[in-house]
Amino acid sequence: PASDTSPASPASPASDTSPSEPNHPQPPKPHPLVDHPDEAIAAMAAEYSDMDGELVSTGPEYVRWPENITFKNFAVYLLIPTLVYDLEYPRTNRIRPLYIFEKTVATFGTFALLYTVTEAFIIPLTPTPDQSFAKSLLNLSLPFMVAYLLLFYIIFECICSGFAELSYFADRCFYEDWWNSTSWDEFSRKWNRPVHMFLLRHVYAPSMASLQLSRSTAMFVTFFISAIAHELVMIVVTHKIRMYLFMLQLVQLPLIAFGRTPAIKHNKTLGNVVFWMGLYAGFPLLCVAYVAH
């Protein structure tokens, strides 16, 4: 999909972000109990002092914990399109009304197109009991891919960018060039950056640091938790407990291992073809599974 910010490049603040003059905060004073005769209390006070020095933002406002614990700060976090909480985010200095208008029109226009595709090419081809499995997949593969691309554009290019503009949020890298992926682990990193960064910070990295898990085990735990979350969404939407999406999510793990084989790893074109074949098959497979059972 077209993008105002090049998706193939790393996150970059919006062009109207105005840098502020550095205003470095004073280092925090040591806790008064660091010299306490009780070693346990002194150690706890020293740890508190160290944390107090670390829990400060590096941006121009230099927000320090616990000054950030306010209803306003929480409301801002709910509005900006990110899942990872930070003391301070890169900001723009103004809201562009024409940009908001463009994203609003694009949202409703693309949604109308998505509705048309669904009504004309998906619902009439909904699998029936007397229809073969292979025919159902072939009939639905292209319509579902078109619907996925339209829905992706609505969410990441229109809604996320619109809320970013309204909240003065300067980081507009909500996705990267996932369409050039040559493996499923690359796709999982690129297609949904907000969720990827959340899982990276709060699941993958802590599981290795706190639980001393290996990289492969931490990756399995991350995919497992992500698969559970996706399946919960399907349970709410379909009112069925079938675990098809959960299983399809975990199937990505052997596909990742397959993508690391020399034949795929050293042939990026072949890797990209295999990736797109899996993507084309995955969406209609879910539809057939949930509709038929």
pLDDT in tens, the chain (293 residues): 444 444 444 444 444 444 444 455 555 677 777 788 888 888 888 877 777 767 777 766 777 777 888 898 899 999 999 999 988 899 999 999 999 999 999 999 999 999 999 999 999 988 887 888 888 888 889 999 999 999 999 999 999 999 999 999 999 999 999 999 999 999 999 999 999 999 999 999 999 988 899 999 999 999 999 999 999 998 998 888 889 899 998 999 999 998 889 988 899 999 999 999 999 988 888 888 887 66
Rounded Cα distance, 287 and 137, in Å: 9
Rounded Cα distance, 256 and 252, in Å: 6
Q: Which domain covers residue 56, as residue numbers?
A: 20-88
**pLDDT value for 134:** 85
Indicate whether 141 and 247 sit together in one domain: no
Name residues whose C-beta falls within 8 Å of residue 263's C-beta, 6 or more positions apart in sequence.
270
> Active site residue: 36, 196, 230, 293, which one?
230
Evaluated on CA atoms 153, 155, 159, 164, the torsion sign reads negative
pTM of the model: 0.79
Indicate whether 181 and 265 sit together in one domain: yes
67 and 61 Cβ atoms separated by less than 8 Å: no
Rounded Cα distance, 85 and 263, in Å: 40
Residue at 9 is within a domain: no
Rounded Cα distance, 2 and 154, in Å: 11
Evaluated on CA atoms 262, 268, 269, 270, the torsion sign reads positive
Indicate whether 109 and 157 sit together in one domain: yes
Rounded Cα distance, 110 and 231, in Å: 26
Indicate whether 72 and 159 sit together in one domain: no
Indicate whether 185 and 151 sit together in one domain: no
CA angle 290, 110, 91 (to 5 degrees): 105
Indicate whether 285 and 193 sit together in one domain: yes
> In the listed set 112, 137, 170, which residue is the last one of a domain according to the structure?
170
Residue at 26 is within a domain: yes
> In the listed set 123, 147, 170, which residue is the last one of a domain according to the structure?
170
Q: Count of domains in the chain?
A: 3
CA torsion angle 124 129 135 139 (round to 10): 20
Rounded Cα distance, 69 and 60, in Å: 18
Rounded Cα distance, 226 and 108, in Å: 29
> In the listed set 38, 70, 88, which residue is the last one of a domain according to the structure?
88
Indicate whether 288 and 232 sit together in one domain: yes
245 and 230 Cβ atoms separated by less than 8 Å: yes
Closest CA to 127 of 137, 115, 136: 136
Instruction: Kindly report whether the peptide bond that precedes residue 194 is cis, defined as omega within 30 degrees of 0.
Output: no
Residue at 118 is within a domain: yes
Judge whether 230 counts as a catalytic residue. Answer: yes
Indicate whether 65 and 117 sit together in one domain: no
Evaluated on CA atoms 226, 231, 233, 234, the torsion sign reads positive
Residue 274 pairs with which residues in a beta bridge?
A: none
Spacing of C-alpha 132 from chain mean position = 35
Residue at 108 is within a domain: yes
**pLDDT value for 274:** 92
Residue at 184 is within a domain: yes
Indicate whether 34 and 105 sit together in one domain: no
Indicate whether 98 and 161 sit together in one domain: yes
179 and 275 Cβ atoms separated by less than 8 Å: no
